[in-house]
Amino acid sequence: MVPPNQKHRNVVVIGAGVAGLAAACLLAKDGCKVTILEKNDTIGGKLNIYKKEGFRFDTGPSLLTMPGLLQQLFEYCGADINEFLEFVPLSPVCRYFYTDGVQFDAFDDIPKTQAEIARFAPEDVEAYASFLAYSKQLYDITSDVFLFHPLRSYRDLFQLPITDVFKIDAFRTVNERVNKHFKSSHLRQFFKRFATYNGSSPYKAPATLNVIPHVEMNQGGFYVKGGLYKIAEALLALAQSMGVKIKTDTEVRRIDLHDDLVEGVTTLDRYYMADLVIANADAHETYLNLLPHHATPPSKRRQIDTTEPSCSGFVIMLGTNKKWEQLVHHNIYFSDDYKREFNDIFSRKTMPDDPTIYIANTSFSDSSHAIEGGSNLFILVNAPYLTDKQNWDEIEDRFIKLVIDKLESRGLKGLRDSIKVKETITPRDFYQKYKSNRGSIYGTSSNSKLAAFLRPRNRSPYVENLWLVGGSTHPGGGIPLALISAFHACDIKIDSRRVTLSPQ
Ligand SMILES: Cc1cc2nc3c(=O)[nH]c(=O)nc-3n(C[C@H](O)[C@H](O)[C@H](O)COP(=O)(O)OP(=O)(O)OC[C@H]3O[C@@H](n4cnc5c(N)ncnc54)[C@H](O)[C@@H]3O)c2cc1C
């Protein structure tokens, strides 16, 4: 239960992203009167939807991990998740294509993936299993003390037993650890890729991030029947069933304080009184633009402003009148030179000439997502966060052409001629639409040893009745972590053993 909520009867949530909706549900369950104010005309935040001429796309997340967290949220609220969502385990989780023609399917089943690896990297078949064992060990050591812990104070960071400090592999990079473990350049590139799941570079991020493969390759990756936007719709339905009010097209311009406590928020045309505000807006936006200047110490403002954001993304949604036999649900076309690609993104802050291209093709699993005989290709390329030097008007068209040319040359022959619907989302759009710091899609990057531990906390240390949730706060980006942030803010314990689905 949440004792402090007894004082907070009247709650305003800024933003209807996953975490904002989740926090609204948890607080409504505890008897609060909750209103969500969302600047856009749809709910869901980065988890959103685009439909045109018979094609349907999830515009943000396409892979769900740790579905047990959603299950726990619904359970807490007294609802049966099976009445809202159907989780579909993906097999394979993803198909990988390399520039030398090697192609393989990755399953959440070690022997099955090893059978694939035996074709192109027989020397690393055993190393695959031992790396996933190491990844699981990292998860076992770090999850309870970091992920599932609200880390309210800096002292909490020191709860890791001294004997485990070296086991979390924070003193070398993902790249160094992966290179040491594998001989095959294919597996090296495969395992480095997971650092991008929180918007970081494998050449800079600590090897602790090697925890991520455990989540996808051991615990499994899921699709939600009908598309991932169903998650946003389910959270909305759950919230509304508990009396939460949602106002879209309502941008909060200011969080109002009185005597260092929040007393309400101001939109363009109204003032909303609140005795608790949950900010699901990007923490950078909350601290630097929504709160009055004096509410945050200058050193904290500086730290928030200078911490490196995660990467952004460049999205091209193509509705085609063709099916692509070589594609499954999730697909990755790797670049030739991964190091150069990350150097472009994080150091030069330009779009890479030779990008790794991710394609979610949900029409593979849900034929209703495209016109008959067609496909809905959601194409995502990692992109730098926004800087003054980028000219997106110029980059956009050039990059669409580059990606389509590349995909045609990698086997999607006739792609350009098959396009019926085309829509893009650039880093500039991510900034304008969601107010995410410099268009980043996962909050701050984890490109230094401590960055992951220093994300903004889920309760403001400066304003007692301001809580922060979402991918830009502790513990990080992605749907599962955004959900965890809502539990942390509300001080509700998560059962860390139930992140995969359990029978109800
Ligand atoms: C292209 C892409 C691919 C991704 N792929 C995956 C994936 O496969 N799996 C995965 O788990 N995650 C993925 N993610 C990350 C995931 O989408 C996010 O981490 C998660 O959705 C963030 O949720 P959030 O609660 O932080 O809210 P956000 O989505 O950031 O939403 C915040 C909301 O607040 C609103 N808001 C902001 N300021 C104001 C204001 N002043 N007033 C009112 N409203 C405001 C915004 O409009 C927005 O709706 C992806 C993201 C992107 C963009």
DSSP string, 295-310: GS-HHHHHHHHHSPB-
User: Has residue 454 been placed in a domain?
Assistant: yes
d(CA 229, CA 416): 27
For ligand 1, whether the C-beta of 233 sits within 6 Å is no
- Within this chain, do residues 194 and 256 fall inside the same structural domain, yes or no? no
471 CA from centroid of ligand 1 (Å): 7
Ligand 1 pocket, mutate which of 46, 69, 466 (most atoms under 8 A from CB): 46
Instruction: For residue 62, give the ligand 1 atom closest to its CA.
Output: 8
Sign of CA dihedral 277, 475, 142, 70: positive
Half-sphere exposure in the Cβ direction for 307 (13 Å, CA): 29
Q: Point out the ligand 1 atom lying closest to the alpha carbon of residue 65.
A: 11
Instruction: For residues 129 and 213, state if they share a domain.
Output: yes
Distance from residue 294's CA to the centre of ligand 1 (Å): 28
Domain for residue 98, yes or no?
no
Using one digit for the tens of pLDDT, what is the confidence trace for 69-89?
Answer: 999 999 999 999 999 999 999
276 and 245 fall within a common domain: yes
Burial profile 363-395: b = 16 or more Cβ within 10 angstroms, e = fewer: bbebeebbbeebbbbbbbbbbbbbeeebebeeb
- pLDDT for the residue 8: 67
Which residue's CA is minimally distant from atom 38 of ligand 1?
281
Question: Tokens at residue 477, please?
Answer: 């980006």
For residue 214 and ligand 1, the question of a CB distance below 6 A is answered with no
Give the domain-ending residue among 220, 240, 255.
220
Sheet holding 375-383, edge to edge: 103-106, 94-97, 330-333, 357-361, 375-383, 312-320, 419-425
- For β-strands 271-273 and 222-224, DSSP reports them as unpaired
Candidates 37, 47, 490: which one to mutate for ligand 1, based on the most atoms within 8 Å of Cβ?
Answer: 47
- Note the pLDDT of residue 1: 39
User: So what's the pLDDT on residue 504?
Assistant: 60
> Does ligand 1 come within 6 angstroms of the Cβ of 47?
yes
Q: Is residue 357 in contact with ligand 1, taking CB distance under 6 Å?
A: no
- Is residue 312 included in any domain, yes or no? no
Q: Is the CB of 439 under 6 A from ligand 1?
A: no
* Helix (H) / strand (E) containing 383: strand 375-383
The whole-number pLDDT of residue 121 equals 98
Q: What is the total count of domains within the chain? A: 2
Cβ(486) – ligand 1 distance below 6 Å: no
Q: pLDDT below 50 — which residues of the chain?
A: 1-5
CA of 44 to the centre of ligand 1 (A): 7
Is residue 266 a part of any domain in this protein?
yes
* C-alpha 202 to ligand 1 mean position (Å): 23
Q: Would you say residue 239 lies in a domain?
A: yes
Q: Is the CB of 435 under 6 A from ligand 1?
A: yes
Taking the CA of residue 479 as reference, the ligand 1 atom at the shortest distance is: 11
**Same domain as 172, residue 131:** yes
Phi-psi region of 132 (alpha: psi -120 to 50; beta: other; left: phi over 0): alpha
- When the pLDDT of each residue in the chain is averaged and rounded to a whole number, the result is 95
Measured distance CA(239)–CA(5) in Å, rounded: 17
Tell whether 196 and 168 lie within a shared domain: yes
| Domain containing residue 453: CATH number | 3.50.50.60
Domain boundary among 204, 220, 236: 220
pTM of the model: 0.97
Q: What pLDDT score does 502 carry?
A: 76
pLDDT tens for 248-296 read 999 999 999 999 999 999 999 999 999 999 999 999 999 999 999 999 9
Domain-located, residue 425: no
Residue-number span of the structural domain to which 216 is assigned: 125-220
The rounded Å distance from CA 418 to ligand 1 centre is 31
Q: Among 280, 315, 468, say which to mutate for ligand 1: greatest number of ligand atoms within 8 Å of CB.
A: 280
User: Of 220, 241, 257, which one is at a domain's C-terminal end?
Assistant: 220
Q: Which residues neighbour 258 within 8 Å (Cβ) at sequence distance 6 or greater?
A: none
| Residue 181: partners with Cβ closer than 8 Å, 6 or more residues away | 127, 130, 131, 134, 191
Return d(Cα 20, Cα 155) in angstroms, integer: 27
Widest Cα–Cα separation across the chain: 67
Instruction: State pLDDT tens for residues 173-182.
Output: 999 999 999 9
- Note whether 268 and 299 are same-domain residues: yes
- What pLDDT does residue 160 have? 73
State whether 172 and 240 are in the same domain: no
**CA 200, CA 138: separation in Å to the nearest integer?**
18
Ligand 1: residue whose CA is nearest its atom 15: 478
Confirm or reject: Cβ of 479 under 6 Å from ligand 1. Answer: yes
CA of 47 to the centre of ligand 1 (A): 6
